[in-house]
């Protein structure tokens, strides 16, 4: 039987995207015999490898900067708009090469679907491969960048990428996401399962 793959592109901005994505991946592993190809930043994937180690034989990882997100000022929480833009410009320009490399690898695999939280790279890869592509998040970078008045050309590039999504799984407390023009499905809240032994150790 041909091995089926679920492809997951996760934002390399912080750890929130990865932690909630791990809850989804863990359920995929428990409920199916599918393999998962997970693409995210090196730090995020290191955490994922440890968390999903019991499924290591069905996981394949790729370390890749999949997002810039919002860059804050040094030692602070205020968004540095100028620096965010300076990092976004080359990042957006790199999409074509990144997508071409991903497509070359994935076209050899039998892919059931692609999920993205919420990096545009996943949407672009899905469009190129003509594979069902699903966004999962409580926001997109479009609203974030519009709020901080990031360059129009950058926002339009993100809008165009997200336009290739066929379905959007909307987590609880989501922003309006007016730029999302595909059907939506409410997911609600989700979390990883609690490990009571580790909680006890912490206490």
pLDDT tier for residue 201 given thresholds of 50, 70 and 90: confident
- According to the 3-state scheme, what is the secondary structure of 42-99? HHHHHHHHHHCHHHHHHEEEEECCCCCCCCECCCCCCECHHHHHHHHHHHHHCHHHHH
How far is the C-alpha of 193 from the C-alpha of 151, rounded, in Å? 40
Q: What is the radius of gyration, based on Cα positions, of the chain?
A: 17
Across the range 171-185, mean pLDDT stands at 92
Across the range 43-58, mean pLDDT stands at 97
pLDDT tier for residue 21 given thresholds of 50, 70 and 90: very high
User: Please, are residues 138 and 175 in contact by the beta-carbon 8 Å criterion?
Assistant: yes
DSSP 3-state of 168: strand
Q: Is the pLDDT of residue 173 over 80?
A: yes
pTM, rounded to two decimals: 0.94
Q: Return the structure tokens found at 157.
A: 């590039």
| The predicted structure's pLDDT at residue 197 | 77
Across the range 53-65, mean pLDDT stands at 98
pLDDT tier for residue 2 given thresholds of 50, 70 and 90: confident
């Amino acid at each position: 039987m041909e091995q089926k793959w679920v492809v997951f592109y996760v934002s390399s901005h912080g750890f929130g995207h990865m932690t909630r994505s791990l809850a989804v991946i863990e359920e995929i592993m428990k409920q199916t015999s599918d393999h998962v190809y997970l693409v995210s930043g090196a730090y995020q994937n290191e955490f994922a490898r440890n968390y999903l180690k019991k499924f290591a034989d069905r996981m394949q990882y790729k370390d890749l900067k999949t997002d810039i997100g919002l860059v804050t000022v040094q030692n602070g929480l205020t968004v540095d708009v100028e620096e965010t833009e300076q990092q976004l410009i080359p990042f957006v320009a790199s999409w074509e090469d990144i997508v071409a490399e991903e497509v070359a690898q994935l076209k050899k695999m039998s892919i059931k679907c692609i999920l993205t939280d919420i990096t545009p790279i996943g949407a672009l890869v899905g469009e190129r491969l003509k594979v069902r592509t699903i966004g999962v998040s409580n926001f997109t970078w479009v609203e974030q960048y519009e709020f901080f008045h990031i360059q129009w050309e950058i926002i339009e590039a993100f809008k165009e990428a997200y336009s290739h999504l066929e379905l959007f799984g909307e987590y609880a407390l989501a922003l309006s996401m007016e730029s999302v023009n595909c059907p939506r499905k409410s997911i609600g809240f989700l979390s990883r399962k609690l490990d009571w032994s580790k909680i006890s150790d912490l206490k």
